[in-house]
Structure 1
Amino acid sequence: MKNIFNQLYSEEILNRIDNLNPNSTPQWGKMNVAQMLAHCSSFQDIAMGNSLPPRGLLGILVGNFAKTVFYNDKPFTKNMSTIPTILIDDDKEFETEKERLKQKIIAFQLNGPENCTTHPHPFFGKLTPEQWGKGIYKHLDHHLKQFGA
């Protein structure tokens, strides 16, 4: 499984983000491209420990049993539910969100696994830095595929 902490894979993701444009349309889902970038940026904040959403009851009950879904090789399903605090439904500016996400990916990769959050994922619970690195790559890959990048 690819890991965002590997510079080769973070560069791949950054290049794919650069292939997006304000008119990129989703193949599934409700978000437009700027909202998707903002969503991914908000998820980066969780992995970096800049945002600490609480665990929901469902996550507490079943998240630990399902956590391999976050970092295994099997792609996420389309229209999978998301963490309520990072559901983006307001208007966003494409270029601003694009640059914000790219800077967060670069910082996350450069800071390395040792600076990854130790706060539990809001659904899956406690994750190792390696699991976060794989999950971040998988999450970004999922949304880039959503927009054909």
Structure 2
Amino acid sequence: MQSLFHPEGNRQIIERIEKLTPITLSEWGVMTVSQMLEHCQQPIKVSFGTLQLKPNLLSVLFGKMAKKRMAQQKQFGRSLPTVKEFRIKHEPDFNQAKSTLIGMIQRFSNEGHGAIAVTKHPFFGEMTMEEWDILQWKHLDHHLRQFGV
């Protein structure tokens, strides 16, 4: 498993993002490439502590079990549900969304574990730095595969 904290893994994700253009089409789903770039920022904001989400009944009942599966699963499957706070309904500026996401990803490599400001995920519960890293990597990889890079 690659790591956003490791400079090489971080560089690889950014290189894939750099291959995207404003007209890159998705292989599945309904998001545009600009919406995807902004969508991918949302879980990172949660880890940085700049976006707070409230746990719900599903997280209490299924969060720990889902976290275990998330850590074991090779790749995220297609068409997984998205929390409403991560849904991007407007059409963001492509260059701005891309630049912001790259900056956020670089922060993992530059700051290391210090980039993660919270230890409790609103759905998965308490998470280690390794679990945060796995979650962020898999989420980014999932959406980059969605757009063919």
Scaled to the shorter chain, the TM-score interval is: over 0.9
* CA contact 2:107–2:115 (8 Å) conserved in 1: no
Structure 1 residues 115 and 103 mapped into 2: Cα distance closer, same or farther (>3 Å)? closer
Q: Aligned with 1:67: secondary structure? A: helix
2:2 paired residue number: 2
1:73: Cα distance to partner? 4.4
Q: Aligned with 2:46: secondary structure? A: helix
C-alpha separation between the residues in 2 aligned to 1:119 and 1:133?
Answer: 12
C-alpha separation between the residues in 1 aligned to 2:98 and 2:90?
Answer: 16
C-alpha separation between the residues in 2 aligned to 1:119 and 1:86?
Answer: 19
C-alpha separation between the residues in 1 aligned to 2:57 and 2:119?
Answer: 16
Identity %: 34
Write out aligned runs for 1:1-149 (5 A).
Answer: 1-149=1-149
Deviations 1:88-138 (A, max 9, x none): 111111111000000011112211114413242222111111110111111
TM-score by length of structure 2 reads 0.94
C-alpha separation between the residues in 1 aligned to 2:61 and 2:74?
Answer: 23
Structure 1 residues 115 and 23 mapped into 2: Cα distance closer, same or farther (>3 Å)? closer
Q: Aligned with 1:112: secondary structure? A: helix
1:72: Cα distance to partner? 2.9
* CA contact 2:48–2:118 (8 Å) conserved in 1: no
My pick for the range that moved more, 104-113 or 93-102, is 104-113
Structure 1 residues 73 and 10 mapped into 2: Cα distance closer, same or farther (>3 Å)? farther
Superposition RMSD in Å: 1.3
Unmatched segments (≥5 aa) in structure 1 = none
Tell me which stretches of 4 or more aligned residues in structure 1 moved more than 3 Å.
none
* CA contact 2:119–2:128 (8 Å) conserved in 1: no
C-alpha separation between the residues in 2 aligned to 1:69 and 1:40?
Answer: 20
* Number of residue equivalences: 149
